[in-house]
Structure 1
Amino acid sequence: MPKVKITETVLRDAHQSLIATRMTTDEMLPIVSKLDKVGYHSLEAWGGATFDACLRFLNEDPWERLRKIRKEAKNTKLQMLFRGQNILGYKHYADDVVEYFVQKSIANGIDILRIFDALNDIRNLQTAINACKKEGGHVQATVCYTISPVHNIESFVKMAKQLEDNGADSICIKDMAGLLTPYVAYDLVKAMKAAVKIPIQLHTHYTSGVASMTYLKAIEAGVDVVDTAISSLALGTSQPPTEPLVATLQGTQYDTGLDLGLLSEIAEYFRPLREKYIASGLLDPKVMSVDINTLLYQVPGGMISNLVSQLKQQNKEDKFEEVLKEVPKVREDFGFPPLVTPTSQIVGTQAVLNVIAGERYKMVSKESKALVKGEYGKTPVEIADEFRKKIIGDEQPVTCRPADLIEPELEKLRSEIKEFIEQDEDVLSYALFPQVATKFFEFRRAQKYKIDGDMVNMEQKTHPI
């Protein structure tokens, strides 16, 4: 058996899951060269919500973050999470934007793109897969794991085979909700390894408390790589901790070969940062506990906290149990989508509306209408005609790949922000988050004038005119 490889998530998913992606580039950079020495399979350092958070909350350029991390990580592959046709945003973008984004991601330092679609609709992955192949990147195509009457080992293995045929270099089983239990993981990995020739990687969250056990069974079944987070930012809604897994596998046929002493130094670096986040209220100790509702209702931990906050705003917290029971019903009506961004938000919000209104689908969100219409792609189960008519009336459903209906956008976007462009990548930041990016560009310009003005003042003091 080959050794097990590890992808470290501390620079992306760990802090995304625990502190809403608020770690700054300055907090990351001092430890990157040490992370680079560990011998990880890869560092997940970009993508997901990092792009949005950099611009929206940290006044940082996400592209600059990537370049700085790349400079420090000289030996380890950098990996990102890419939402297929949604890129890193929340809607579908034109093919030319997707292609250019992939090109620029790889040019700025990304080696591996983990590409997924919230509906597991392969049509929504193909443009990004082709673009990544063209740029010489590694395509890690993703199977989003979920539980429903229509999802089973056979269906996931079939999808993995299709992804391999479509150009994937490796497959990721993405268990975004922490629903994958140990013995199911064993059977799933075993079946997938028998069906495909490319490596299999497993990603999960600790939310339900079973994740480390799940990894152990997946490793016994032959999984090639697993995602972990350094212990100071692991557990809860984050990933299983890196060091205990390394220690568990030491001296076995699965030995990772990673140095526990070096990992301990890295954990030590992040410990004061963790204390800082707890003190600021960004890291709520509640997200560190096991949430068994995840397994009972097959609802991701982050979605549960979202439902609670929506009910609080309406002073309807007493309806929480009712909403939890409504979620699976809405999901069934909507064709059993996996619950991951953006489908988890759409299904959850609709369940809240149904309960608060006291009548199902009396109020329907515009995102629910778009999902039922087919604007996000093909749902795992065909939505019933009668139900679709109730939600979208006489509107025609979208049956083609949704992006086929979107005209090329790049040139139009460029002309809209030409006054702000300082680098080619700015058009992509604007494409994904127009208002947020514009605000950042204005901030960046103001900072530049401030620095230039300070320099002039200093020169005048040194060399009076």
Structure 2
Amino acid sequence: MKFVDTTLRDGHQSLIATRMSTKDMIPVLEAMDKVGFYSMEMWGGATFDVAVRFLNEDPWERLRKIREKIKNTKLQMLLRGQNLVGYRHYADDTVRLFVRKMVENGIDIIRIFDALNDERNLLIAIDEAKKMKAHVQGAISYTVSPVHTLDYYLNYARKLVELGVDSICIKDMAGLLTPKEAFELVNSLKKQFSLPIDVHSHCTCGLAIASYQAALDAGADIIDTALSPFALGTSQPPFEPFYYSLSKQGIVPPPDWETLNFLIEYFTKVREKYSAFDVKMTTIDPKILYAQVPGGMYSNMVKQLQEQKMSHKMKEVLEEIPKVQRDLGYPPLVTPTSQIVGVQAVLNVMTGERYSKVTKEVKEYVKGFYGRPPAPIDPELVKKILGDEKPIDVRPGEIIPPEVEKSKEELGLLAKNDEDVLIYIILGEVGKKYLQKRYVDQLKIDFDLLKEFEAPVYPV
């Protein structure tokens, strides 16, 4: 039985808006390395964007620093297939370079998923990861809809296996997986495939702990948990009680309470430090059971409605989300489709007329630029949004021109290495401004050093 610790990625992404800095992680890395986690999910997801956009940090440097301290535990990251860690599809040359550089910088396990469960969006990332000898975990984006049946998930898992993944993850981002469904899905996957099965969920709806136990009963090999200060709420179930329970059954060694107590005290203080960003969720949110809204998406909508002085419309928005999801072919609500559906639902409510205003992202989604929806989109809606334009029917990455060399030329002296180029490609102007600031700061440091060691001038 193995545990993935999510404290340094999904734990703080779910609870404190991904604001934990690298300097807050460094002091406890060696202690975390002693706990006995199978892997630590500590990179990818929103961490790349937030590091640059809000923390003025180099995400690549975070990866290298953590790798330097972690000797016994595998390092894991979350990759959105052709989306990488951004919000659009990137060119194939960018995907290959990104996968190559993250493995070179220290990643062992890559959890790769596509928001639409369109396997075409995983092809390039999986191929490059296999070339780099990384462990590839293919993830199933889990949701509840008329088309997302047990057979649907088993068929998708078969596609992942055919692509050569090393393990399979059931990725339940909104915490919708019930104990019955968890048991049936894990049991069926174990019967059909000989790969390890990992279960990832969130406690938002109050189902995850019971569903994890059901998954373990069905033979799940791995579960995702967080250390208790960064567990529960919109995050994962807590590590300590699950590990303790399994230790009592003789499945895992007894817990190292001295190390765990140290980590609990430390991360409790870290969470307090970021209280301004804390979701402060003290109860479950059963509304998610019908709205299917992941925690990050919910908090973004709250902020959006507050800015428009329309907080009183939240109930209508939550009722509109499943309608938009149905209209668009039941996409699972995970980045980037959660933002696409959520923003359009807010627009529909604010304008009072559904789809009278349509976002650029919704139009691109309907065109097929994000991939193949799980179910056909309402033809009338396609006509209303696209007019006489026709959706594409090829893999979206095929129509994006190469961008790495062009980006290197655009950056010039700002790019010290390929990692810098990737920051720019993925984050655009936000990435460029970060690189510009770092370049200017470095020039100031070099100038100050030059003044300090300037040879004294003696009178003749």
Provide TM-score, normalisation by structure 2: 0.96
Which residue of structure 2 lines up, in the alignment, with residue 117 of structure 1?
Answer: 114
Note closer, same or farther for the CA distance 1:256–1:357 as it changes in structure 2 (3 Å cut).
farther
Map 1:15-414 to 2 at 5 A: 15-252=12-249, 254-255=251-252, 258-278=255-275, 281-285=276-280, 287-414=281-408
**For 2:197 and 2:212, how far apart are their aligned partners in 1?**
12
**For 1:425 and 1:446, how far apart are their aligned partners in 2?**
18
Deviation >4 Å, runs of 4+: none
Alpha-carbon shift at residue 183 of structure 1 (Å)? 2.0
Unaligned runs of 5+ in 1: none
Note closer, same or farther for the CA distance 1:104–1:259 as it changes in structure 2 (3 Å cut).
same
Q: How many residues align?
A: 458
Alpha-carbon shift at residue 28 of structure 1 (Å)? 0.5
Choose the corresponding residue for 1:443, options 437, 440, 455.
Answer: 437
Alpha carbons 1:96, 1:409 under 8 Å: kept: yes
Q: Which amino acid aligns with 1:403?
A: G
Cα RMSD for the two superposed structures: 1.6
Q: Bigger CA drift: 449-458 or 351-360?
A: 449-458
Alpha carbons 2:89, 2:397 under 8 Å: kept: yes
Could you say what secondary structure the match of 2:128 adopts? helix
Q: Bigger CA drift: 252-261 or 301-310?
A: 252-261
Alpha-carbon shift at residue 425 of structure 1 (Å)? 1.3
**For 1:79 and 1:306, how far apart are their aligned partners in 2?**
26
Q: What do residues 170-195 of structure 1 show as CA deviations (whole Å, max 9, x unaligned)? A: 00110011111222111111111111
Could you say what secondary structure the match of 1:296 adopts? helix
Alpha-carbon shift at residue 67 of structure 1 (Å)? 0.6
Alpha carbons 1:79, 1:111 under 8 Å: kept: yes
Alpha-carbon shift at residue 307 of structure 1 (Å)? 2.5
**For 1:361 and 1:302, how far apart are their aligned partners in 2?**
24
Alpha carbons 1:237, 1:288 under 8 Å: kept: no
**For 2:370 and 2:259, how far apart are their aligned partners in 1?**
44
Could you say what secondary structure the match of 1:377 adopts? coil
Provide TM-score, normalisation by structure 1: 0.95
Alpha-carbon shift at residue 256 of structure 1 (Å)? 6.0
Alpha-carbon shift at residue 132 of structure 1 (Å)? 0.2
Could you say what secondary structure the match of 2:64 adopts? helix
Q: Bigger CA drift: 388-397 or 205-214?
A: 205-214
Q: What do residues 148-207 of structure 1 show as CA deviations (whole Å, max 9, x unaligned)? A: 011012211121121011110000110011111222111111111111111010111111
Q: Which amino acid aligns with 1:109?
A: G
2:421 equivalent to 1:424: no
Q: Bigger CA drift: 170-179 or 349-358?
A: 349-358
**For 2:231 and 2:282, how far apart are their aligned partners in 1?**
9
Choose the corresponding residue for 1:456, options 444, 450, 454.
Answer: 450
Could you say what secondary structure the match of 2:252 adopts? coil
Could you say what secondary structure the match of 2:249 adopts? coil
Alpha carbons 1:5, 1:256 under 8 Å: kept: no
Alpha-carbon shift at residue 309 of structure 1 (Å)? 2.5
